[in-house]
Structures are given as structure tokens and as C-alpha cells.
Amino acid sequence: MPQLRSRRHIRHVRAGKRPASMQAASRRSEQQRYDQGYACGYAEGLRLGQSQYGVPFDGTSIIIPTYNKAELLEQCIASIEAHTPLPHEIIVIDNASTDGTGAYLHRNTGKLRFHIHEHNRGFSGAVNTGLMMAKGQTICILNNDILATPNWLRNLLNCLQSEDNIGIVGPVTNFISGEQQIEVPYQSIEDMYSFAAAHNVPNAGKWQGTDRIVGFCLVFRRDLFETTGYFDEGFEIGNFEDEDYALRVRLNGRKLVIARDAFIHHYGSVTMKELGDQFMAVNDKNAAFFRDKWGNSFNMVQRARETNSGSNLSRSHDFYPTHVAVTGLTDTVYWVEHGTKYPLVGHIGVPIVSISQIDLRGWPTGPAMDAGAARDKWHGQSEPNGGIADGAVFTTEAGKWYQRQGTEYREIISEHALRRWQMENRVQPRTDKERRELKEGLPIIPAPMITAYHL
């Protein structure tokens, strides 16, 4: 006897046997609805993204440069996630690793923001890409061989936000050079976390001003980046770029502070150690670049503070020259004169200095200027009475370089600075007697060297 089937089963069977044309029409309808929804969602997301572009969020951008240390990077990020309840974003910049770091980053799309360089651009280059991407009101630059600990970021931010003129804050650790290293009792990572939990009790009495802060962990406000600029990519691979940045921050009148109530674990210069025999060559080259760039940096900072003692906090542009032609990412060339940039119209005919967009935006923009007028100013070295012209570059019997700006003379701190602003062919001999007829102004420092096209 034939087996009876339920009505429900019959309806199910019949529904599964719709004509192929009906099935195709249904699929087309579903695809159309999906496409419409996707288009609407994309348009709305694009609109919201554009409206929020450039609007910082009330949190910290944690920038981690990395190269070929995927396991350490994973540990670092896991420790941040475990011990950072404050609002933050993690930005990883990979310097073309070959150990699977890129695959790890792609697996964590959505949890991390990241960029993978096509080649190794060194620590400064990675930091700069991260700074360009950062959206936080505060920024933390963190080595990939760090383990975050309880209260680490909260204590660093407490210190940073305690005074407006604090520029950079750093923690203490188990392995580093200088004042930030402390003695630790632990022998294992498990014991380290117990030690850190007991150590990281908020205590403003343990905050210490310093003249040097090491780049394994740097915390600063977004506006410090906007007034100080990018890291100098003239420092290759790593070492001395943090010294350079800290010096620029101090030159602007801001403090460096060690928050001794904030401890993080540092495995210690793992990437640099892997250079092996090349380490000393890289270190020596960067040390030489630092000396060539700054000369007597301590004396310069002291003199700048004395010259600027009655003024508010400075910005890097206060230490840049006048009467130079500059350009950023676009084809527009600007003439910089007395703190304002003027778009040039016509044949330029003078050397053009490439600078970052952050540096370019630091000058207010004036009306368009005929390039011929800029050329005349560039070549003008003397006033009608034979005196030193405004904007003229000169040297004296003492062997130093200067530029006149208004009623002041400004010392160009090094030959590197002279060449960075492409003023070496403008130098004319003058006397110290003529220089002393002007009052001393702020020194002229070089703009950081930037190799990336997108900064």
C-alpha cells in the first residue's frame, strides 16, 4: 500500500520544484535588493566618513612600528587589549616584514588599523605613517617588544594632562638606557604582572622632569605633533630619531617628564640587535647625522630659551627661515616670508624645498604673489645703503651662518640646516660688526627630511 505523505511535506516538495525561470527571477530580485542596500550603505558610510575625516576622537592612538617580530607583536597587542580600558585605537605599521606579520595583520582587520610598507622605511618612516593615520586626541608611540601593564596608559595620561606645557611623557621599564630603567625583582612574565600591578599606583609625586626621554614609549598630545611635525627620516633604520624629536620638543619650550608611577615591560631593542655587525654602523651613521644636524644642541636650546623667554610656547615654524620657496604634496609652490606663505604665480626660478603637509599647513596663507617678485627677494642681498637686506643670508669672520629677518639676525645652526633650506648659494660675506647692529633672534633649524610621498 503506498505510503501517505503529509500536506506539509507535499507543499515542501512542490515548493522545491519551482520552474527554473521562477528561481532565476527570484535570485535576480534578491541580488537587486542586495545591490541597492549595498549602494545605499556605501553612500551613507562614505558621507559619514568624509564628514568625520580629520575629526579626532577622544582617546589615544597607539602606534606600533614593527619589522619581522610577529610573535612579539601579538604579545604586545594582547597585553594592550588586556590592560587598556581607556578609549584607544591600535595602529600597526609594518616595515615589509617577511615572517608572516602581514598575514597576522590581515586576520585582525577590523580590530587593528594597519599599513604595510613596500620596503623597510625604518623606525621614523613607520612612525610617520602612523602619525598620518592617527585619529586620537593623544598619541602613544610604542615599540613592538613591549608588554602593557595595569594602569600603564592611565598613569601616563594623568601626568601628561597635569600641565599644558608638558610635551612628552614616558614610563619606567626594566631594560633601557638612562634614567627610565629601574631595578626589578621578577624572573617571569607572570611575576612581572604582579610587580607591575603593585608598582602602577597613581602617584604624582613620582613624576620627574628630564632632558632626555627614550622612544620605546612616548605619549603626547595631538597638538604637539601638529606644532612639532613628523620624525626626521634622515635617521636610518633606528636610533637617535627619538633624541632628535625630544630636542625639537624642548626647543619649543615644552617639558619632558618621566612618569615613574607607570611601568611597562621591555624585552629590549630586539629589532636593532638582529642587525648584528651592522648595528654599530647604523648607530654611528645616525649619531653623525645628529651631530651634523644640531651641532652644540645643549647650547642652542639654552640660547633659544633666553631669546624666547618672554613669549608663549613656540612651534617648529618659529625656527624656520624667511624668504624661501617651499612645496608639499601638490604642484603649488609657496614663498615663505615673515611667517606667512604666498602661492607663487609664474616661473619660479629659485630652489624649492620639499616639506611635509604638516609643516606646510603651519604657515597661514596669504594672497598670490608674482614669482618674479620672489626671485628678486631671493637674490637681494643688500639694501640701497649697502646694509644687509631683509632675508639675506650671510657669514662673518667667525665662520657661522645667519639670516636677517626684520630687525633680527638669526643663526643657522649647521651646514645641514643651510643646505636643507637650499640657501648655501646665497651666502655673502659680512662682518660681526654689521651683525651686532641687529638683535639676536631665534635660531634657524632644518625641517625634518621626509621620504614618503603621502606625508
User: Does residue 454 sit within a domain?
Assistant: no
Res. 14: pLDDT tops 50: no
132 and 45 fall within a common domain = no
Q: Are residues 91 and 240 located together in one domain of the fold?
A: yes
- Is 453 inside any structural domain? no
- Do 61 and 32 belong to one domain? no
Looking at the fold, whether 82 and 216 belong to one and the same domain comes out as yes
Please say which residue of 266, 297, 328 terminates a domain: 297
Residue 153 reports pLDDT greater than 50: yes
pLDDT for residue 237: 81
Q: Side chain identity at 347, as an amino acid letter?
A: H
Torsion on CA atoms 298, 301, 302, 304, rounded to nearest 10: 150
Show Cβ contacts of residue 285 under 8 Å, excluding neighbours closer than 6 positions. Answer: 236
Q: Do 272 and 332 belong to one domain?
A: no
Long-range contact list for 400-405, CB < 8 A, 24+ apart? 401/427, 402/435, 403/321, 403/322, 403/323, 403/444, 404/438, 405/321, 405/322, 405/338, 405/441
- Residue 39's CB is within 10 A of a number of other CB atoms, namely 10
The total number of residues shown for the chain amounts to 455
Indicate whether 311 belongs to any domain. Answer: no
Same domain, 242 and 333: no
User: How many Cβ atoms sit within 10 Å of the Cβ of residue 403?
Assistant: 26
CATH number at residue 241: 3.90.550.10
Are residues 61 and 44 part of one domain?
Answer: no
Residue 308, domain member (yes or no): no
By residue range, what is the domain housing residue 193? Answer: 57-297
Tell me how many domains the chain contains: 3
User: Which of 34-48, 122-136, 226-240 is the most confident on average?
Assistant: 122-136
Residue 356 parent element (H or E): none
Alpha-helical (H) ranges within 176-325 are 189-199, 222-228, 241-251, 270-273, 278-294, 297-307
Confidence at 1, pLDDT banded by 50, 70, 90: very low
CB distance 88 to 136 below 8 Å: yes
| pTM of the entire predicted model | 0.85
Q: Mean of the per-residue pLDDT values for the chain?
A: 89
- Helix, strand, coil distribution of the chain in percent, nearest 5: 40, 25, 35
Query: Could you tell me if 110 and 203 lie in one domain?
Result: yes
Would residue 140 count as lying in a domain?
yes
Q: Residue 71, Cβ neighbours under 10 Å: how many?
A: 12
Which of residues 263, 297, 331 is at a domain's end?
A: 297
Q: Is residue 305 part of a domain?
A: no
Amino acid at 431: T
Report whether 321 contacts 445 (CB < 8 A). no
C-alpha cell read off for 256: 619632558
Looking at the structure, tell me whether residues 146 and 266 fall in a common domain.
Answer: yes
- Please name the helix (run of DSSP H) or strand (run of DSSP E) that holds residue 28, with its range, or none: helix 20-52
In a domain, 447, yes or no: no
How many alpha carbons lie under 13 Å from residue 298 in its C-beta half-sphere? 2
pLDDT, residue 188, reads: 96
Q: Is 425 helix (H, G, I), strand (E, B) or coil?
A: helix
Verify that 74 and 212 share a domain, yes or no.
yes
Q: With bands split at pLDDT 50, 70 and 90, how would you rate the model's confidence at 451?
A: confident
Alpha-carbon span 267 to 450, nearest angstrom: 30
Q: Is the pLDDT of residue 453 over 90?
A: no
Question: How far is Cα 304 from Cα 222, in angstroms, rounded to an integer?
Answer: 24
pLDDT of residue 44: 56
* 37 & 123 share domain: no
Strands (E), 123-190: 136-142, 146-147, 166-173
Is the same domain home to 197 and 328? Answer: no
Q: Which residues pair with 173 in a beta bridge?
A: 181, 264
User: Is position 116 within any domain?
Assistant: yes
What are the Cα distances from residue 400, in Å, to 153, 429, 438? 45, 10, 15
Q: What is the pLDDT of residues 341-392, one digit of tens each?
A: 999 999 999 999 999 999 999 999 999 999 999 999 999 888 999 999 999 9
pLDDT at 8: 43
Note the pLDDT of residue 6.
43
